[in-house]
């Protein structure tokens, strides 16, 4: 059993802190889903491409947060001072760009403490946030920031702009596709050729603004304090990336209400309208997903469901344009989704058919939807009083029906 103590040291010093602090993001700063804000952050600088990044941000009127390497800040002091002068936040990414997974305790402490002192000296103000390189943690880098007055920050959207095979349009599209309220985007302004990141910034910012998001630095981002909602935001990001769910802009430029992605229909056989063939399990579908944070704000009270459906109805023409133009949805047999927000007449006025989804196969979906209501509904756990009435309902139209009602109109 000689190996037991070394194993405990490895697990306690490296493995558990990285699992909890990096992958679990425990006690890390995260934005609130209640406010339609999004933060752009940049790592690894400053470097030769940083002035070009600052030029685009200045032209677009965007303030961002730069997590700088202290030794790079000493090498490019005028760039750091420009960041501060233009209103950006200058925060700490470490003394050197080293992984915490290869650091001894005393080295890890110096990386944070010495890095903080150097950044404060160059920027003229102490940093408030710390992001470890690659997000890696050990026991010291998990504890040192708090002892030194720093908040740890990771990210929720990473377009991998550091990869040489990522063109600017792919970088911009990735960020816009996965934008959610309170998201923290990690980009890079140094550490290699960043001309692709620079080229991606303008279309990225335009796309984010089309979705109604306000771009703010971390210090202005409203913090999410509920650990339950932090976990849910992480799960929402994983789901969005896995199923490539797209956000549909709201008609008034406000918070988006709807998202849509390609899926496979797995319900009962549905009769098509008139002479149309029936829709069978396995058919491709354009699956509607509600923007839970936005609809949660409309919930509460006896009229909460009606308010939520009114918001959905306002966004239907935008969804119609999206379904008509997205090539991945061209063969969709139906447009719809499963919900417990079933207000019959409101659903029917929008043109949707309703199909109750019962049976043992729907138990996991029902559980998921009930948890969703508890997390986002204003009544919180109080919504469980209505548990017996919260039944999953499929709302749907055939693609032809949907486009005839909500698709683009030719002059």
The residues annotated with a catalytic role in the active site are: 43, 188
Residue 99's Cβ-count burial label (10 Å; 0-12, 13-18, 19+) is: middle
* SS3 of residue 153 by DSSP: strand
- Contact between 333 and 265 under an 8 Å Cβ cutoff? The reply is yes
Residue located via tokens 């470490």 = 94
* SS3 of residue 315 by DSSP: coil
- Contact between 301 and 335 under an 8 Å Cβ cutoff? The reply is no
Q: What is the Cα–Cα distance from 94 to 172, expressed in whole angstroms?
A: 27
- Contact between 36 and 67 under an 8 Å Cβ cutoff? The reply is no
- Contact between 256 and 250 under an 8 Å Cβ cutoff? The reply is yes
What ranges in 133-267 are assigned the alpha helix state H?
139-147, 168-177, 195-210, 227-243
Encoded tokens for 15: 């493995």
363: left (phi over 0), alpha (psi -120 to 50) or beta: alpha
User: How far is residue 113 CA from its own chain's centroid?
Assistant: 31
What ranges in 39-192 are assigned the alpha helix state H?
50-60, 70-75, 77-85, 105-123, 139-147, 168-177
DSSP 360: G
Determine phi and psi for 149, rounding to 5 degrees: 80, 25
Encoded tokens for 141: 């880098």
Q: What is the Cα–Cα distance from 160 to 157, expressed in whole angstroms?
A: 9
Give the number of other Cβ atoms within 10 Å of residue 407's Cβ. Answer: 17
Encoded tokens for 244: 């490539």
Q: What is the Cα–Cα distance from 317 to 243, expressed in whole angstroms?
A: 23
- Contact between 281 and 269 under an 8 Å Cβ cutoff? The reply is yes
User: How far is residue 111 CA from its own chain's centroid?
Assistant: 29
Encoded tokens for 407: 């698709």
């Amino acid at each position: 059993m000689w190996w037991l103590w070394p194993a405990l040291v490895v697990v306690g010093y490296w493995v558990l802190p990285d699992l909890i602090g990096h992958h679990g993001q425990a006690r890390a700063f995260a934005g609130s889903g209640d406010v339609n804000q999004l933060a752009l952050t940049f790592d690894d600088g400053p470097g030769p491409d940083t002035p070009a990044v600052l030029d685009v941000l200045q032209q677009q009127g965007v303030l961002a947060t730069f997590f700088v390497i202290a030794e790079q800040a000493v090498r490019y002091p005028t760039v750091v001072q420009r960041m501060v002068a233009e209103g950006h936040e200058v925060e700490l990414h470490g003394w050197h760009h080293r992984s915490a997974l290869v650091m001894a305790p005393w080295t890890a402490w110096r990386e944070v403490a010495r890095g903080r002192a150097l950044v404060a000296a160059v920027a003229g103000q102490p940093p408030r946030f710390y992001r470890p390189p690659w997000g890696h943690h050990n026991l010291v880098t998990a504890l040192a920031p708090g002892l030194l007055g720093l908040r740890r920050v990771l990210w929720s959207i990473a377009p991998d702009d550091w990869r040489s095979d990522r063109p600017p349009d792919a970088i911009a599209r990735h960020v816009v596709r996965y934008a959610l309220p309170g998201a923290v985007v990690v980009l890079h302004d140094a550490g290699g050729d960043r001309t692709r990141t620079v080229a991606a910034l303008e279309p990225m910012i335009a796309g984010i603004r089309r979705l109604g998001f306000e771009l703010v630095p971390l210090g202005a981002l409203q913090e999410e304090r509920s650990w339950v909602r932090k976990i849910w935001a992480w799960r929402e990001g994983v789901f969005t990336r896995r199923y490539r769910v797209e956000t549909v802009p709201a008609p008034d430029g406000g918070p988006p209400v709807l998202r849509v992605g390609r899926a496979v229909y797995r319900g009962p056989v549905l009769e098509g309208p008139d002479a149309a063939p029936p829709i069978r399990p396995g058919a491709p579908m354009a699956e509607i997903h509600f923007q839970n944070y936005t609809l949660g704000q409309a919930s509460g009270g006896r009229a909460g469901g009606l308010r939520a459906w009114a918001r959905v109805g306002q966004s239907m023409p935008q969804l119609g344009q999206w379904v008509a133009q997205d090539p991945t949805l061209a063969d969709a047999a139906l447009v719809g989704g499963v919900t417990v927000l079933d207000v019959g007449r409101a659903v029917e006025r929008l043109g949707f058919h309703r199909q109750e989804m019962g049976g043992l196969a729907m138990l996991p979906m029902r559980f998921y939807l009930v948890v969703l209501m508890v997390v986002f509904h204003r009544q919180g756990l109080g919504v469980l009083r209505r548990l017996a009435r919260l039944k999953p309902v499929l709302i749907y139209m055939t693609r032809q029906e949907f486009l005839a009602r909500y698709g683009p109109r030719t002059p």
